Amino acid sequence: MPSIISVAEASPKHVVDQNEVMNFARDLFSESYKDIERLLKVFQNGQIEKRHFAKDLNWFKKDHTFQEKNDAYIECAVELGAEAIKACLTSKEFLAEDIPFEEIDAIFTISSTGIATPSIEARIMNILPFSEYTKRIPIWGLGCAGGASGLARAYEYCLAYPKAKVLVLAIELCSLTFQRNDYSKSNLVGTSLFADGVACVLVTGDEGKPPKLIKESAPRVIATQSTTMKHSSDVMGWDVKNEGLYVIFSRDIPSIVEKWLKPNALGFLENNHIKLEQITHFIAHPGGRKVIEAYQESLDFIPEMTETSLQVLKEYGNMSSSTILYVLRRFMHSGKKGDIGLAAALGPGFSSELLLLEWS
C-alpha cells in the first residue's frame, strides 16, 4: 500500500495573538451589535492562542478589491508553497537522504482561498527544478476536507502507478478572504477562527525504490472513503460576490458532526474489518473547539485522542485544508509499528473524507 513518507509546514511570518484579533473585531463590529462583548466571547471560547496571517493586521483595516486580495494570494501561495515543498523533500525529521525534485511524478495542489490559472504548482515549477513532465492535478473547492481528500487522491494515484512519488500541497490563505464590511455572525465567527498555512506531504507507491527513512516506521494508507450529504450545500462554503469570497458557516456544524460522523465512520471501519477500539491515533481536522468536542462525543473518544488536534488549533487556528496535515506531521513522530490511525476531515458539500492508516 502507498506510504506517507514526509510532511512539512510553511507558515506566514505575521504572527497575531488572539487578543489582538479580538480587539480588531471589537472596533469593526461594535456599531453593528449592541451585545458585541457577549459575541466576542467566541474568540476566547475557541481556545485559539495565536494565528499566522499573510499580511499584518493593519492591512485588514483597509478595503481591498477582489483583485488585490487574489494577487496577494498568488504571491504568498507561490512563496510558501515552494518553501513547504523544499522542506518536505529535504526533511531532516523523516528522510535520511533528500528526494530530488526530478523524481516527483505528480503534484496535487489543494486550495479554496484564491484563484490562479496557471495554477500555483505550475508557477512553483518555474522556481524549483521539477521535471517538465511532472503531472499537475490542482483541486479547488473542498475547503477543510481538502487535505484529507488530497491524501486520498494521492493514494489512488500510487495504487495505479505503484512506482510513483507524489506530493500533496495544501495552500490556504483564509485571512485574505476577510470581508471588512460583512457584519454577519458567520464573518465574526470566521474572524475568530480561520488562519493561513501551507503543508506538503510526500506519498510513495510500494514498488519504487524506497526512500531511506530516519524513523523505523511510516503510515501506510489502507483505505479511504468520501461521503457527501445530500441537500447540505448551505452548511459551509463561499458566497461569491463582487468584493470576493463571503464565508458560509452554519452554527449547526457541531451537531451535524455528532449525528452524522459516527455511522459514517463506523461503516467505513466495519468495511475494512477494524473496530473503533483498535484505533490508536485519531488524526482529526480541528474545525474548531466545538467540532473537536463533537468528535469526542460522537465516537466516544477520550480527550487524549483529540489532544494533538486541539494543540494545532491553539497554535495555528483553522487553516482549512492544510490543518489536518499539520496534525498528521505530529502523529508521524508518535506513531509506532503496528499502530492504526483514522484520519477525518469535513468540508463543503457537506462532506467527509476518511482515511485508514497503519504504521509499518
Q: How many domains does the chain have?
A: 2
Residue where a domain stops, chosen among 204, 233, 253 = 204
Q: How much is the pLDDT for 309?
A: 96
Residue where a domain stops, chosen among 175, 204, 233 = 204
Q: Does any domain span residue 12?
A: yes
Are 89 and 185 within one domain? yes
Are 160 and 239 within one domain? no
Contact assessment for residue 335 and residue 219, using Cβ atoms and an 8 Å cutoff: yes
- Given a cut of 70, the residues of the chain with pLDDT beneath it are none
Q: Does any domain span residue 209?
A: no
Q: Does any domain span residue 181?
A: yes
Q: Is 76 a catalytic residue?
A: no
Residue where a domain stops, chosen among 135, 169, 204 = 204
Q: Does any domain span residue 213?
A: no
Are 114 and 159 within one domain? yes
Cα(101)–Cα(89) distance, rounded to whole angstroms? Answer: 8
Q: Which three cell numbers stand for residue 288?
A: 474548531
Are 259 and 305 within one domain? yes
Q: How much is the pLDDT for 335?
A: 92
In the DSSP assignment, the letter for residue 128 is S
Q: How much is the pLDDT for 282?
A: 97
Q: Does any domain span residue 43?
A: yes
* β-strand pairing of 340-347 with 281-284: parallel
Q: Does any domain span residue 194?
A: yes
Q: Does any domain span residue 237?
A: yes
Are 124 and 270 within one domain? no
Are 66 and 94 within one domain? yes
In the DSSP assignment, the letter for residue 272 is T
Q: How much is the pLDDT for 36?
A: 87
Cα(285)–Cα(327) distance, rounded to whole angstroms? Answer: 7
Residue 97's domain spans which residues? Answer: 3-204
Q: How much is the pLDDT for 213?
A: 92
What CATH number did the domain enclosing 302 receive?
3.40.47.10
Are 189 and 247 within one domain? no
Are 243 and 286 within one domain? yes
pLDDT (tens digit, 9 = 90+) per residue, 141-159? 999 999 999 999 999 999 9
Are 232 and 174 within one domain? no
Contact assessment for residue 285 and residue 194, using Cβ atoms and an 8 Å cutoff: no
One-letter amino acid of 184: S
Is the dihedral angle over the CA atoms 319, 325, 328, 330 positive or is it negative? negative
Residue 169: partners with Cβ closer than 8 Å, 6 or more residues away: 81, 84, 85, 107, 108, 109, 110, 120, 121, 150, 198, 199, 200
Are 200 and 251 within one domain? no
Are 280 and 196 within one domain? no
Q: Does any domain span residue 40?
A: yes
Write down the residue that cell numbers 460522537 correspond to. 298
- Give the phi and the psi of residue 127 in degrees, each rounded to 5: -105, -40
Residue 183: alpha-carbon gap to chain centroid: 26
> Which of these is catalytic: 76, 88, 144, 174?
144
Are 18 and 122 within one domain? yes
Instruction: Please name the residue ranges forming H helices in the chain.
Output: 18-29, 36-39, 41-45, 66-89, 120-124, 146-160, 185-193, 253-271, 289-299, 307-316, 323-334
